[in-house]
Amino acid sequence: MNSVITEKKDRAAIVTINRPKALNALNRDTLEELLACFTALEEDREIAAIIITGAGDKAFVAGADISAMQDMDTLAGREFGQLGQRVMNSVETFSRPVIGAINGFALGGGCELALACDFRIASDSARFGQPEVNLGVIPGFGGSQRLPRLVGTGHAMELLVTGEIIDAEQACRIGLVNRVVSAAQLMDECLQVVEKISRKGPLAVRLCKEAVRGGMQMDIDRACRYESELFGICFASADQKEGMRAFLEKRPANF
């Protein structure tokens, strides 16, 4: 059985982690399938955005697979962490927006997968945490780095050192998710966001992501110069001509 399922709905690709009996825990095969899936989707020009979610109604992803990690030695642990990080990087650097549809437990590697998405929308049953300290380890798929960058050092540090699990409303209060909807509404809500994105200038959407992702690695002066470069590139595109002409002709743009 495939542990990662991809389906397309209009301009959205829905990627579902599909190991519900193990609460969608990430083992090596699942990580490799995810990597292959993101590589393949990169070639699909039709896709406006990706939605990642978990199979079943209980978990988004309950973490890296603990039974797969139990007997690892130093090198195996490092190699597994590096594979996980390649997956998270492929999500983060995907050329179009990636939305986390968080439908249940997002713990450890699952919270880290959510963090690699561009933004997250949660169902009211979602739960978040980095419980690695309960297992005698630290996060290995980027959580100790992306969590403080997203929610600030104080909130991140508390979650990391206590292993505490928080509910969707708390996650929303600290900025870990953008909003909380009912489980029944979650996919429709995410699909509506993709629909909205699909009507915008495609190059501009990509460059927004590049500006934010690239700029966040730089100091503010370099980042603003980087923004100017990307802003300039927009003017080489048919999208800019059509977008501005449409505005002035008082009609919707046809990208």
- The catalytic site residues sit at 112, 132
By C-beta, is 116 or 207 nearer to ligand CAA? 116
Binds ligand CAA (CB under 6 A): choice among 139, 201, 202, 243: 139
Task: Please tell me the count of residues contacting ligand CAA according to CB under 6 A.
Answer: 22
To the nearest whole angstrom, how small is the minimum distance from the Cβ of residue 69 to ligand CAA?
7
CA distances from 255 to 13, 74, 199, 246 (A): 20, 51, 7, 10
The SS3 call for residue 248 is helix
To the nearest whole angstrom, how small is the minimum distance from the Cβ of residue 103 to ligand CAA?
13
Does 34 bind ligand CAA (CB under 6 A)? Our answer is no
To the nearest whole angstrom, how small is the minimum distance from the Cβ of residue 26 to ligand CAA?
7
By C-beta, is 67 or 74 nearer to ligand CAA? 67
Q: Is 128 left (phi over 0), alpha (psi -120 to 50) or beta?
A: beta
The SS3 call for residue 176 is coil
Q: Rounded to whole angstroms, how far apart are CA atoms 225 and 159?
A: 35
Does 132 bind ligand CAA (CB under 6 A)? Our answer is yes
Does 74 bind ligand CAA (CB under 6 A)? Our answer is no
- Both tokens of residue 65? 């697979």
Tokens 């990690």 map to which residue? 69
Does 17 bind ligand CAA (CB under 6 A)? Our answer is no
Of 31-39, 63-71, 210-218, 231-239, which part binds ligand CAA (CB under 6 A)?
63-71
Cβ contacts of 3-6, under 8 Å, gap ≥ 24: 3/27, 3/29, 3/30, 3/33, 4/30, 4/33, 4/34, 4/37, 5/55, 6/37, 6/40, 6/41
Binds ligand CAA (CB under 6 A): choice among 13, 14, 22, 50: 22
By C-beta, is 58 or 200 nearer to ligand CAA? 58
Does 55 bind ligand CAA (CB under 6 A)? Our answer is no
Q: Rounded to whole angstroms, how far apart are CA atoms 87 and 4?
A: 13
Does 151 bind ligand CAA (CB under 6 A)? Our answer is no
Binds ligand CAA (CB under 6 A): choice among 4, 15, 17, 23: 23
Binds ligand CAA (CB under 6 A): choice among 54, 97, 100, 109: 109
Does 54 bind ligand CAA (CB under 6 A)? Our answer is no
Residue type, 185: Q
Backbone CA torsion sign across 170, 146, 90, 128: negative
By C-beta, is 74 or 254 nearer to ligand CAA? 74
